[in-house]
A = this chain, B = another copy of it.
């Protein structure tokens, strides 16, 4: 089959013809119908510091956001059938560690990630463990099905395990409007938020943030202290109830806390790559803030939430707007460039080799 392979420990990737994979015990073979580009793919493509330290072996097939169809079952598979439409939960858990045994598989001590630690989805076929092949409604548009995985990140950020049911009538701040931030805006509205504030520097994304339903989208650099002032004025002086930090910028990290009401909560998903400094006294302690680290999606509580939310047409139509480009997968380098240069929000990859 054809596949985009990270062949050497360096930038880029290449189309190669590789043997068709075969499903082992408890695995299924999936024909890829649509895929999409995630920030992680960009890091691997650019071979940045994170990628250099994270990648354990080459070669491997890139990509993890997927919509496909089951075409063959390995031995022992019970809950899937040939013809099922599936997406991939990209965290492959060992099933035996304390996290796996207590409903927190997404932080399995020995997690493997699709398209990083094992062959991914930028190919004609991919092998998935039965548990990681999430069955979709066959009526769901494959391009939307492929971006369920980042939608799951957005839902997980807004609804981390153990967080209270506090979005009803709440004010929410989303710092950083990449695809996950944009999806967080839509979902916050869908879950009953009163007002949604967002920050973003890129004009394409700011515009999309407004179309997603953000009441205000600030340019955090140009508007400076005005961001906080406006948020305080419009929230009776208190600040937002919930903040989700999607940008990975230390300044946004500080803003997320400064804008937070005493007793509020912050979810952290954006990565900072190195140490960040914070006045913990003011940001967290005197404020009695709660902070949630967000990694992946809850397996599979988040996926059930996502499935239910996707039944709402208003979500599907907003998601479609986030897909700003559709590119044949054979032009993957161009798709990578579109995302890396922030000319695109989400780029959907058509299965055209």
- A interface, CB within 8 angstroms of B: 25, 76, 78-79, 94-96, 98-99, 101-104, 106-107, 109, 130-131, 155, 159-171, 187, 190-195, 236-238, 253, 261-263, 268-269, 271-281, 283-295, 299-301, 303-312
Q: Which residue, A161, A261, A262, has most C-beta atoms of chain B within 10 A?
A: A262
Q: How far is A88 from B24 in the complex, measured between Cα atoms in Å?
A: 29
Contacts of A284 in B (CB 8 A): 268, 291, 293
Contacts of A290 in B (CB 8 A): 160, 162, 290-293
Contacts of A191 in B (CB 8 A): 167-168, 191-192
With A271-B285, A277-B275, A291-B284 in contact, do A301 and B162 touch (Cβ < 8 Å)?
no
User: Once the chains bind, are B311 and A169 in contact (CB under 8 Å)?
Assistant: yes
Tell me which of B166, B278, B289, B294 contacts A288 (CB under 8 A).
B294
Q: What DSSP secondary structure best describes chain A's contact surface?
A: loop
Tell me which of B166, B262, B274, B307 contacts A279 (CB under 8 A).
B274
User: Once the chains bind, are A308 and B168 in contact (CB under 8 Å)?
Assistant: yes
Q: Which residue, A102, A303, A306, has most C-beta atoms of chain B within 10 A?
A: A102
Tell me which of B190, B253, B285, B301 contacts A294 (CB under 8 A).
B285
Contacts of A294 in B (CB 8 A): 285, 288
Contacts of A312 in B (CB 8 A): 192, 194
Q: How far is A130 from B94 in the complex, measured between Cα atoms in Å?
A: 13
User: Once the chains bind, are B305 and A295 in contact (CB under 8 Å)?
Assistant: no
User: Once the chains bind, are A263 and B109 in contact (CB under 8 Å)?
Assistant: no
Contacts of A279 in B (CB 8 A): 272, 274-276
Q: How far is A190 from B190 in the complex, measured between Cα atoms in Å?
A: 7
Tell me which of B171, B274, B288, B299 contacts A106 (CB under 8 A).
B288
User: Once the chains bind, are B159 and A165 in contact (CB under 8 Å)?
Assistant: yes
Besides the known contacts A107-B288, A169-B311, 12 further A-B residue pairs in the complex with CB atoms under 8 A apart: A96-B131, A98-B261, A101-B300, A102-B263, A107-B262, A192-B192, A192-B309, A194-B311, A268-B285, A276-B277, A288-B292, A289-B291
